[in-house]
Amino acid sequence: MEENLSRVKISDIASRAGVSTGTVDRVIHNRGEVAAKTREKILGIIRELNYEPDILASTLASKKAVRFASLLPASDEQNPFWAAPAEGIRAAANEIRHYGVVLEEHFFNYHDKNSFSSELQKVIDKKPTGLILAPVYSGETATGMELLKKLNIPVVFINAQVEEQENISYVGQDPFQSGMVAAHLLDFCIHDEAGLFIINITSETLGNTHILNREKGFRHYFSTNNAFRAGHIRTININSELTGEPNKTLEEQLKPQLTASPAGIFVTNSKVFHVASFLEKFNIKTAGLVGYDLLGRNQEFLRNGTIDFLISQKPREQGYKSFMTLFNHMVMKKQAAREQFLPIDIITKENLDFYINY
Amino acid sequence: MEENLSRVKISDIASRAGVSTGTVDRVIHNRGEVAAKTREKILGIIRELNYEPDILASTLASKKAVRFASLLPASDEQNPFWAAPAEGIRAAANEIRHYGVVLEEHFFNYHDKNSFSSELQKVIDKKPTGLILAPVYSGETATGMELLKKLNIPVVFINAQVEEQENISYVGQDPFQSGMVAAHLLDFCIHDEAGLFIINITSETLGNTHILNREKGFRHYFSTNNAFRAGHIRTININSELTGEPNKTLEEQLKPQLTASPAGIFVTNSKVFHVASFLEKFNIKTAGLVGYDLLGRNQEFLRNGTIDFLISQKPREQGYKSFMTLFNHMVMKKQAAREQFLPIDIITKENLDFYINY
DNA sequence: CTGAAAGCGCTTACAG
DNA sequence: CTGAAAGCGCTTACAG
């Protein structure tokens, strides 16, 4: 172990096979132009010697640029969530820039389906080596995936999964299971017989299987663990504008439906701060309020105690991992798992600080 | 961005300075034997051109082996915790093996101070390039650190911090803050006026500032948030054998002290399964039981509901990050933060599966 | 179908 | 104190 364990190299294989290194390289990379028997012989030796290429030497010698593209929702004040995944992607890109990988970032308007498909088309036109995609609109995603397949461009889905697509991997959370977590947390908080509320704040144009799965997981927990409560869960759907803000009428929509003091409330996405501010305004106390994601406004309400738990989905790591998945697939030739579920982080006031940069 | 952004290289600097690449290399690595004015000139150009070395080419050319050593407690059935950090270290080592970094693992008996110091001495004698150390015994650690300093061997502490040592970084959890988390979780669980118990299960020979800090954090939470409860917290110290098992008399020690049905119990380390099994045996119900770490036996009790929450400290990532810290410090020449606090993960039955490999 | 040679960016004796 | 040259392991035209 003292010496740099003398690995077998291309020249070893070449001399064993009685050919030149160039020929060995040709069979390693399937570049053709090699006689079948030469090829077999070399392949045999490679297996026998357990050859592993030296990636450093390889990327140094082949100065070809690998271009990875990302297409994510633009993050802004309405939509701060997406800043972190983008940052994670950049961090990964920076870490392995020595391998000659270049990142090309693209963004679309989260609330605009046309923006999604036109940006996706632009990305495809550039023919990147690989693509990280937030498949917010599933129909448009399917269309794009056909083109990408033809061009042989591998795709990693980030944050949301779309079924029946040939993405090489999905990096994100398990939404059903995170709903289960939310349910158990509320179960800890509540001790009387008041009812529970699930609040979905979304705009209808969005494909929201993600949110539906969270709700399903939540209900499933109680069906399994507490039949009485399972019978006292009401869902409230709030319509948010295309801008991402809930209607001016959030109050109007919410107030009549929030009959009496609720035991606990589960908000199925990051919009939980709207509910928190509503509760504060009308001085409504709940035993438990649970929502998603460490947005600045959510953090405020977590710290002041109006929100009890936030569930976080490692947005930065989603980005980092997506990029690395592509890198390992294309450069290191390592296959990734079809689904890479990230942990379902439970955040309280006390451990919040340790998650902010994740 | 299309082309592999043409970085400035040593030859660029050399030609600008009117010297050979060898000379530039000498000043870059401070190998001396360069005239002062040549040196200044080259340094100036390097700054001006914002030169960044190509680590790939560098490690390819200099085939010197970098040897990183680790010294951790041996993990066995009594002490399964330490398997994960070791695995994290190995994973990191494997990931960057192309950079010519070699890992030398060493282990000591967690419950034997002499084993610690003799193994530490062995490691030092081998003069590794860097060291990852679990500083379980603080006195012996201090002694070793003096030698390591003389040999100019950088050290990363993993899992526990020792104050006033010149380790380049600490990778682990913030114990005080994790006690706060435990307290808040129990605060969610309990709703009557029964008392709380803190149970420390340790052998006295161990330096356990870590555990004391967890207790402090726990008490601090209630002092701040709930004066009544703060006055009803009792600490029970259980003496565990040198083998790591609590005495046969765990029952005898615990039973008389666990007066009446406790509202909640906080076990300050991974031995919480002992308490869980005690509670089951005597059919004692608590509103909340919280402990540390995802040991197999703890997982069982979490799944069956006897344990409500486990706090996990990313043991695998502790290892991974420690190794990478050393690598970045020595090979990439990047400084690390003095303290790298890992998240305080809150685990329930529902999100457990997503943390097992972390 | 195959080999010889130059080159990727940096490091390392060696000669002076 | 400095330079010229060979080499790290792999890739890439080019010539045949």
Q: What are the chain A neighbours of B98 within 8 Å (beta carbons)?
A: 54-56
Give the pLDDT score at A326. 93
Q: Which range has the worst mean pLDDT, A122-131, B52-61, B78-87?
A: B52-61
Decide if B290 contacts B346 (C-beta within 8 A).
no
Give the pLDDT score at B3. 32
Res. A246: pLDDT tops 80:
no
Q: Do A56 and B350 touch (CB under 8 A)?
A: no
Comparison of pLDDT for A221 and A249, the residue scoring more: A221
Decide if A203 contacts A166 (C-beta within 8 A).
no
Contact map slice: B 138-177 vs A, CB within 8 A? 174, 177
Res. A6: pLDDT tops 60:
no
Tell me, yes or no, if B308 comes closer than 8 A to chain A by beta carbon.
yes
Tell me, yes or no, if B54 comes closer than 8 A to chain A by beta carbon.
yes
Res. B245: pLDDT tops 90:
no
Q: How confident is the model at residue A52 (pLDDT cuts 50, 70, 90)?
A: confident
State which protein residues have CB closer than 7 Å to strand D: A 7, 9-11, 21-22, 25-26, 28-29, 53-54, 57-58, 60-62, 64; B 18-23, 26, 32-36, 38-39, 57, 60-61, 63
Most confident option among A13-17, A58-62, B140-144: B140-144
Tell me the average pLDDT across B208-219. Answer: 91
Tell me the average pLDDT across B169-185. Answer: 96
Tell me the average pLDDT across B56-69. Answer: 83
Q: How confident is the model at residue B315 (pLDDT cuts 50, 70, 90)?
A: very high
Identity (one letter) of the amino acid at B125? Answer: D
Mapped to the 3 state alphabet, what secondary structure does chain B carry? CCCCCCCCCHHHHHHHHCCCHHHHHHHHCCCCCCCHHHHHHHHHHHHHHCCCCCHHHHHHHCCCCEEEEEEEECCCCCCHHHHHHHHHHHHHHHHCHHHCEEEEEEEECCCCHHHHHHHHHHHHHCCCCEEEECCCCHHHHHHHHHHHHHCCCCEEEECCCCCCCCCCEEEECCHHHHHHHHHHHHHHHCCCCCCEEEEEEECCCCCCHHHHHHHHHHHHHHHHHCHHHHCCEEEEEEEECCCCCECCCHHHHHCCCCCCCCCEEEECCCCHHHHHHHHHHCCCCCCEEEEECCCHHHHHHHHCCCCCEEEECCHHHHHHHHHHHHHHHHCCCCCCCCEEECCCEEECCCCHHHCCCC
Give the pLDDT score at A140. 93
Tell me the average pLDDT across A329-350. Answer: 90
Res. A206: pLDDT tops 60:
no
Comparison of pLDDT for A57 and B244, the residue scoring more: A57
Q: How confident is the model at residue A15 (pLDDT cuts 50, 70, 90)?
A: confident
Q: How confident is the model at residue A241 (pLDDT cuts 50, 70, 90)?
A: low
For chain B, the average pLDDT equals 88
Give the pLDDT score at B4. 35
Tell me the average pLDDT across B137-153. Answer: 92
Tell me the average pLDDT across B283-287. Answer: 90
Nucleotides in C strand less than 7 A from protein CB: 1-5, 7-13
Q: Which range has the worst mean pLDDT, A139-148, A164-173, A208-217, B3-12?
A: B3-12
Comparison of pLDDT for A216 and B164, the residue scoring more: A216
Q: What are the chain B neighbours of A98 within 8 Å (beta carbons)?
A: 54-56
Q: Kindly report which amino acid residue has its CA closest to the C1' atom of nucleotide C4.
A: A20
Most confident option among A38-42, B43-47, B154-158: B154-158
Tell me the average pLDDT across B80-91. Answer: 94
Q: How many CB pairs under 8 A join A and B?
A: 118
Tell me, yes or no, if A242 comes closer than 8 A to chain B by beta carbon.
no
Res. B242: pLDDT tops 60:
no
B32 backbone φψ class: left, alpha, beta (φ>0; ψ -120 to 50)? left
Res. A31: pLDDT tops 80:
no
Res. B216: pLDDT tops 90:
yes
Give the pLDDT score at A3. 32
Nearest to B304 by CA among A225, A158, A101, A69: A225
Percentage of residues in chain A with pLDDT exceeding 70? Answer: 94
Residue of B102, B106, B344 to mutate when probing chain A, most A C-beta within 10 A: B344
Tell me, yes or no, if A308 comes closer than 8 A to chain B by beta carbon.
yes
Give the pLDDT score at B42. 87
